[in-house]
Chains A and B, each alone.
Chain A
Amino acid sequence: MASSLEVRDVRKSYGKFVAVDGVSFTAPAEGSIFGLLGPNGAGKTSTIRMIMDIIAPDSGEVLLFGRPRGDAELRRVGYLPEERGLYRKMTVLDQLLFLGEIHGRKRRDLLPAIDRWLERVELSQWRKSKVEELSKGMQQKVQLIGTLLHEPELLILDEPFSGLDPINQELFRDLFLEHRRQGRTVILSTHGMELAERMCDHICLISHGRVVLTGSLKEIKRRVGGNAYRLVAEGDLERLHELPEVEQAVVQDGRAKLLLKPGAEGFEVLRRMVEFLRVHEFRSEEPELEQIFLKAVRDAA
Chain B
Amino acid sequence: MRLETMKIVARREFLQRVKTKGFWIGTVVFPVFAVAMTILPSLFLARTSTSHQVVVVDETGRVAPELLKDRPRAKADPLKNPGGAEAEKRTARLAFTVEPTETDTKAQQESLRKRVLAKEVDAWIWITPGVLKGDSVEYRGRSVSNFMTQGELERRLTDAVRRVRLADAGLDPDKIGALSAPVGLKTIRVSAEGSRAEGGAGGFFFAYILFFMLFLGLIIWGQQVMNGVLDEKSTRVVEVLVSSVKPFELMMGKLTGICLVGLTQFGIWLLSLVVVTAPGLITSLASMPDDFKLPTLPVTTAVHFLGFFVLGFMINSSFYAALGAAFNNQQEAQQAAGTMSLLFSVPAIIMPMVINAPSSKLAVVTSLIPLFTPVLMPLRIVVETPPAWQIALGYVLTFGFLIAMVWFCSRIYRVGILMYGKKPTIPELLRWVRYS
Contacts and interface: CB of A to CB of B under 8 A. Distances in A.
A99 B243 contact: no
B236 A83 contact: yes
A229 to B, nearest CB: 43
A103 B236 contact: no
Interface stretch (A87-95, A182-190, A215-223): A87-95
Interface in B226-245: 231-232, 235-237, 239-245
Interface string B1-23: 01001001100100110000000
B271 interface: no
28 contacts: A49-B418, A54-B243, A54-B418, A71-B2, A74-B244, A77-B243, A79-B240, A79-B243, A79-B244, A81-B236, A81-B239, A82-B239, A83-B236, A84-B236, A84-B239, A85-B237, A85-B239, A85-B240, A86-B237, A87-B232, A88-B231, A88-B235, A94-B12, A98-B8, A99-B240, A102-B5, A102-B8, A146-B240
Nearest to A87: B237
Nearest to B239: A81
Contacts of B436: 56
Nearest to A82: B239
A273 to B, nearest CB: 48
A89 B16 contact: yes
Contacts, number: 62
Contacts of A102: 5, 8-9, 241, 244-245
Contacts of A84: 236, 239-240
Interface in B206-250: 231-232, 235-237, 239-245
A77 B232 CA distance: 22
Contacts of A80: 240
A89 B17 CA distance: 10
A80 B418 CA distance: 15
Contacts of B2: 71
Contacts of B241: 102
A252 B436 CA distance: 50
Contact of B244 (A56, A75, A86, A88): A75
Q: Which of B236, B239, B242, B244 has the most CB of A within 10 A?
A: B244
Contact of A55 (B16, B240, B418): B418
A9 interface: no
A238 B145 CA distance: 92
Given A55-B418, A71-B2, A81 B237 contact: no
A103 B239 CA distance: 14
In the A-B complex, the 7 residue pairs with the closest CB atoms: A85-B236, A85-B235, A81-B239, A79-B243, A83-B236, A52-B243, A85-B237
Nearest to B417: A54
Contacts of A61: none
Interface string A188-232: 000000000000000000000000000000000000000000000
Contacts of B240: 79-81, 84-86, 99, 143, 146
A74 B235 CA distance: 23
B22 to A, nearest CB: 11
A89 B16 CA distance: 8
A101 interface: yes
Interface in A126-176: 143, 146
Contacts of B15: 94
A101 B235 contact: no
A101 B8 contact: yes
Contacts of B5: 102
Contacts of B243: 52-54, 74, 77, 79, 81
Interface in A39-92: 49, 52-56, 71, 74-75, 77, 79-90
Nearest to B435: A56
A107 to B, nearest CB: 10
A298 B336 CA distance: 46
Nearest to A52: B243
A52 B244 CA distance: 8
B338 to A, nearest CB: 26
Nearest to B236: A85
A143 B239 CA distance: 12
Nearest to A71: B2
Contacts of A101: 8
Nearest to A51: B243
Contacts of A54: 242-243, 418
Nearest to A15: B431
Contacts of B245: 102
Contacts of A90: 12, 16
A2 to B, nearest CB: 21
A86 B8 CA distance: 16
A74 B241 CA distance: 12
B421 to A, nearest CB: 12
B15 to A, nearest CB: 8
Given A54-B418, A102-B5, A102-B9, A86 B235 contact: yes
